[in-house]
Amino acid sequence: MAYIRERQAFGEPLSRKQALRHKVAEMATEIEAARHLVYHAAACYNAGDDCVTEVSMAKLFATEVANRVAYQSVQLHGGYGYMSEFPVERFFRDVRLWTIASGTSEIMKEIIAKRLL
Ligand SMILES: Cc1cc2nc3c(=O)[nH]c(=O)nc-3n(C[C@H](O)[C@H](O)[C@H](O)COP(=O)(O)OP(=O)(O)OC[C@H]3O[C@@H](n4cnc5c(N)ncnc54)[C@H](O)[C@@H]3O)c2cc1C
């Protein structure tokens, strides 16, 4: 947010460009949806319910969102997004792990499907 408010391109901040504003709105909406799935899974767990489906959905969705958001964040930074001086470059590399470790996205889908079908 700070970067696109500050960065000027073609006579105005990036944050004034509708295509980029819409991208930010989508990213924020996906993050909020992921947060609520995670909170819901945690609440189910705390209540002592069977929460395997909810946890698998939260893990699947939140880690895929994290990857999409990190990808778009690098894109919003332009060339700086690729440089190690900017934290977003590190976020982009780090987040790649989370659709793999602790059960891949494919395996999360298998667990969810097994519970549903
Ligand atoms: C940095 C890091 C830290 C880790 N830390 C831990 C740890 O602390 N403890 C621990 O136990 N493990 C840890 N792991 C291991 C991690 O959990 C595994 O890498 C992960 O579960 C995937 O297993 P795999 O690497 O054997 O991939 P594979 O099982 O070989 O899978 C390769 C690809 O095939 C897909 N695939 C496999 N089977 C199916 C299927 N039936 N249907 C559809 N697609 C499938 C996978 O989703 C994946 O995309 C870590 C891994 C990394 C990279």
Q: Is 75 in the pocket of ligand 1 (CB under 6 A)?
A: no
Q: How much of the chain is helix, strand and coil, in % rounded to 5?
A: 80, 5, 20
Q: Is CATH 3.40.1390.30 the right assignment for the domain spanning 18-116?
A: no
Q: Is 44 in the pocket of ligand 1 (CB under 6 A)?
A: no
Domain limits, the chain = 18-116
* Nearest atom of ligand 1 to the alpha carbon of 105: 47
Distance CA 64, CA 80 (A): 23
Provide φ and ψ at 94, rounded to 5°: -65, -40
Residue 78 alpha carbon to ligand 1 centre in Å:
32
Select from 106, 109, 110, 112 the residue to mutate for testing ligand 1; criterion: most ligand atoms less than 8 Å from CB. Answer: 106
Q: Please report the pLDDT score of residue 41 as a whole number.
A: 98
Q: Please report the pLDDT score of residue 74 as a whole number.
A: 98
Q: Categorize the per-residue pLDDT at 112 as very low, low, confident or very high, splitting at 50, 70 and 90.
A: very high
The pLDDT tens digits of the residues spanning 42-94 come to 999 999 999 999 999 999 999 999 999 999 999 999 999 999 999 999 999 99
Residue 52 alpha carbon to ligand 1 centre in Å:
18
Distance CA 91, CA 98 (A): 11
